[in-house]
Amino acid sequence: MALSEKTREHLRTLLEGMRQEMLDEVKVQNDRARSEEYVGDLGDYATSDMVAEYAHLFGERLRRRLILIEEALDAIENGDYGLCEECEEPISEKRLQLMPFARFCVRCQSELERRAKMRGETFTDLNHIGYRFPEEPEYD
């Protein structure tokens, strides 16, 4: 069943709000990182490194989510929103209300996760479409 115009507009507003919240969070994280300047002992530096690593992982997670939100907003504009990218069937309205950037119906999402698990991989919506995140540098 296709989404009504009212539902589509509600989900667009929800996605735009999510995007703004994430952009605000990125700004807060960047401002915090710039303002943290102190000198301490080795323990302080180790803690600082852990905090920086956490911030990096958190930032990467935000970036992934922002990409999915932008793609969902583009799909609304293109008229493709709410269709599973795997089977092309409508994604349930309930699923879209809970996760408005969902790209797959529950059945296909489960199947893609199952296949990735069998290959010893972790499925993400972005690696399914061939999006590759920058490689992390290896430190010796």
pLDDT of amino acid 116:
86
Tokens of 18: 């999510």
Q: pLDDT tens, position by position, for the chain (140 residues)?
A: 678 999 999 999 999 999 999 888 878 877 776 665 555 555 655 666 666 665 656 677 788 889 999 999 999 999 999 999 999 999 999 999 999 999 999 999 999 999 988 888 877 655 444 444 334 444 44
What residue spans define the domains of the chain?
5-128
9 vs 17: CA distance, rounded Å: 12
Does CATH place domain 5-128 in 1.20.120.910?
Answer: yes
pLDDT at residue 72, rounded to an integer: 96
Model confidence, pTM: 0.70
Residue 133 has what pLDDT?
39
